[in-house]
Structure 1
């Protein structure tokens, strides 16, 4: 029985625990429901996990059982599943005794460090033990991080039922056992997708005129909408006097037709970052109109504003009991795009103020998320000053530090359990060069006030406007390359 479940059981009056199974009137057992037992009393969800820089995304239930039985034939052969003692007991009840050397039991607080030391490696951990440095692997295509996950068919959902004599079972509902329904409550789980650069201009805008305003969302719209919170970094103003996108307008002075807000609605945007360096391409009038449009359409913004003070205000968000604070700034300039005391624009980086904000809101139970518009570099590796600034924010207490400036996807590292992803790449922008087409969408997961996981979703740009999910082969090659570069660059830290 999981330790957390055991700790929550409250014995009703008239009941006591016995060590002799044959004396028990009621038993809380693992397995399939006995005839007439109905729904399980408790469902405890586990996850198959591996160190974060793992290319593999999942396994079949059959392959997992083979590993348990010591019959692995793939790359995990010779690498035992790491589990805690209570997890070992639970799955022994479900799958039978594991083969010798197929499973290794460790204290739960040592499993993560051991897995990172001995890569490739994998483990089974209870949902409440998830941490950001784990990558959650799918089993038969199902992840417990998905809100729509069908847990009734999920192999790592362990069901507990009461068994006993008829009289004891009949009076079961009258007793208060204090049992939780499980360890995964969707009312306490928040998903946030964060994206890179959006600029609905040039060839992207032309395709929208030719094929419909929502054309760029065709392949990833449902994915973005599925999150509780969806973030974009829109780098350009929406301006009613913006010149037509057709014929193709190639100048680097950017603006978008306000009609294109339909695309943001189509992908379920909630949060808009305003750190981009093209926000003032058409002056203060266009930027002011953009802010009004965002307010009218219910978008929440951060990282920019009507003046310097407003631009540097954190954005506080609460969802499913989780409290997040977003802080964004532009470190790269140019100077004339930054907000001043009397004019609007992107938030200049004031690190002393940002550190104070991070620490103030962290004490109040908020999870700090910092975003940068930093210096661009068409490389997996970030510039040194970008590393320094990101580490400064992580050490101050930011749980996630995310680079929104990158047109080329970049490395990610951990500072303790805090994720730094230097650059996600483009979301909606027309750069079709080989190095600029691949990008990340980061799906961050929060549970009971904690940051517990990030899923790296990989996309590739088609037709100057339309990102699609990578194929299995494309994704494996891309992740392999970026993980290797990051390790060689000493960007990864444990």
Structure 2
């Protein structure tokens, strides 16, 4: 898919610029891989002493990422299952697809297994490749008019506290939205392996969480002499998206003295401009700087780290958003266009530039002093009224609007109420979906007013090796049919060697998403 920049008259913005080294077709890089059992299982970490980096890992194609689905409210009446003709296999109707709850950890089956799922021959999902044992219940063929009820039934069998059952139904592809997982068949994904849909071109957007380039991340890259090292196991997957966004949480500077050499536990995260080579390798299209480590520092260099970072990114041709040399630039969204569909992504710092809340560990607010203003650089400050005004203005101009909001309490499974209020307000103001980050662990999600809110993708590149939660993160995989979000799923990663995420196995994916769904259910029960 070719990126075509669009102008935003009268408003400063970050416009994507295709890089000279971009692949002819990013989609072809990793597209079409489905099913379980094909994920790259990588063990071991890099050496602890000096020397060469471990042998370079060619980015491998991982199993397709599990789709997500929020908690349904109640269980509707059961749809009448379709009755197969005597002596003939039960198969989906022409132009129909098999759908399951995104809580079911399976993305694909073989063609010969379709009839068994629908006619009751297959009684356990483990029999068709799922990494867990779960009884099968077929709901039959469902038309567009019964789709919403079926979505709730699919999910109701897998929410926390329910008697576990994995339901499956067949429905027209035209009825499908992001709330279900469409099973691929014989390696073909009927939702994503298209070029055109009902509303426009089919394209995919990928988003990742915290990329923190300093401390042990920097030391590891420096020891190996390889500043692309953190991205090598995931570059193929990230480059396969039509648009890829990351949260750069730290400073890129060739002039600042790196504090890690004097203070190993520093929370001022710095590396050199060579780190941008990793973004290039992975096909990152833009980064948000709207976070607490873009400006905040204990060393005392003020905003120099941010200014050096913006200069380095500009020199490399990599757009940034969520910060700027003054408030107008900081508030401007990153904008681009794919296949005639306009996109705006906003970044806001609600941790070190929160205009509404005072400092509070429980609320995830550190300070109010690092926001940009009319004459000073800084991050895009968060104030609820300003935040919603920015979203509303973007929604009036662009087809797809995604706020990437940095906020919440660290290491907590459930978001604070103020953040949920802000995210829901953004949906009311016209956002297509909302993504948040900051806690350094994955959280859950919800669907509000028919649109998804994803709370925290967790760490992506960071040296927090002290727990399972902080070593694992998610790649958010969004599929659009024109301006309509029709697919939403996640791919888990585990961080090795203090800095290098690798795709997880199918069983590990099930465990990570189990934690994700527990967070989802706890939020729903609050």
TM-score of the alignment, normalized to the shorter chain, above 0.5: yes
CA–CA separation in structure 2 for the residues paired with 1:183 and 1:481? 35
Partner residue, 1:291: 310
* 2:508 paired with 1:440: no
Q: Which has the higher contact order (CA 8 A, sep 6+)?
A: 2
CA–CA separation in structure 2 for the residues paired with 1:359 and 1:392? 10
CA–CA separation in structure 2 for the residues paired with 1:438 and 1:267? 19
Partner residue, 1:238: 252
Partner residue, 1:393: 426
Partner residue, 1:176: none
User: 1:112 deviation in Å?
Assistant: 2.9
Q: 1:131 to 1:186 in 2, by over 3 A?
A: closer
CA–CA separation in structure 2 for the residues paired with 1:216 and 1:479? 23
TM-score, L = length of structure 2: 0.69
Q: 1:248 to 1:284 in 2, by over 3 A?
A: closer
SS in 1 for 2:342: strand
Partner residue, 1:265: 280
Q: 1:125 to 1:322 in 2, by over 3 A?
A: farther
SS in 1 for 2:283: coil
Q: 1:491 to 1:337 in 2, by over 3 A?
A: farther
The count of residues paired between Structure 1 and Structure 2 equals 397
SS in 1 for 2:369: helix
Larger Rg: 1
* 2:182 paired with 1:136: yes
* 2:323 paired with 1:304: yes
Q: 1:343 to 1:84 in 2, by over 3 A?
A: same
In the TM superposition, 1:68-467 aligns within 5 A as 68-75=118-125, 79-84=137-142, 107-108=146-147, 110-117=149-156, 120-146=166-192, 149=193, 184=197, 188-211=201-224, 212-243=226-257, 249-280=264-295, 281=297, 282-333=301-352, 334-434=367-467, 435-467=469-501
Contact 2:136 2:167 in 1 (8 A): no
Contact 2:119 2:138 in 1 (8 A): no
CA–CA separation in structure 1 for the residues paired with 2:278 and 2:389? 36
Contact 1:84 1:125 in 2 (8 A): yes
Q: 1:400 to 1:422 in 2, by over 3 A?
A: same
CA–CA separation in structure 1 for the residues paired with 2:101 and 2:396? 29
SS in 1 for 2:485: strand
SS in 2 for 1:79: strand
CA–CA separation in structure 2 for the residues paired with 1:319 and 1:366? 11
CA–CA separation in structure 2 for the residues paired with 1:330 and 1:365? 22
Contact 1:196 1:406 in 2 (8 A): no
TM-score, L = length of structure 1: 0.74
Bigger proportion of residues as helix: 1
CA–CA separation in structure 2 for the residues paired with 1:62 and 1:145? 20
| Residues 235-260 of structure 1 deviation map (CA, whole Å, 9 limit, x = unaligned) | 11211113356798432222221111
CA–CA separation in structure 2 for the residues paired with 1:185 and 1:224? 26
Contact 1:377 1:383 in 2 (8 A): no
SS in 1 for 2:303: helix
Moved more, 423-432 or 277-286: 277-286
| Residues 336-357 of structure 1 deviation map (CA, whole Å, 9 limit, x = unaligned) | 3221222111101133233233
| Residues 441-483 of structure 1 deviation map (CA, whole Å, 9 limit, x = unaligned) | 1011111221111111111111101111111111112212321
CA–CA separation in structure 2 for the residues paired with 1:438 and 1:272? 20
User: 1:332 deviation in Å?
Assistant: 1.7
SS in 2 for 1:329: strand
Moved more, 184-193 or 332-341: 184-193
Q: Which runs of 5 or more structure 2 residues have no equivalent in the other structure? A: 1-93, 126-133, 159-165, 353-366
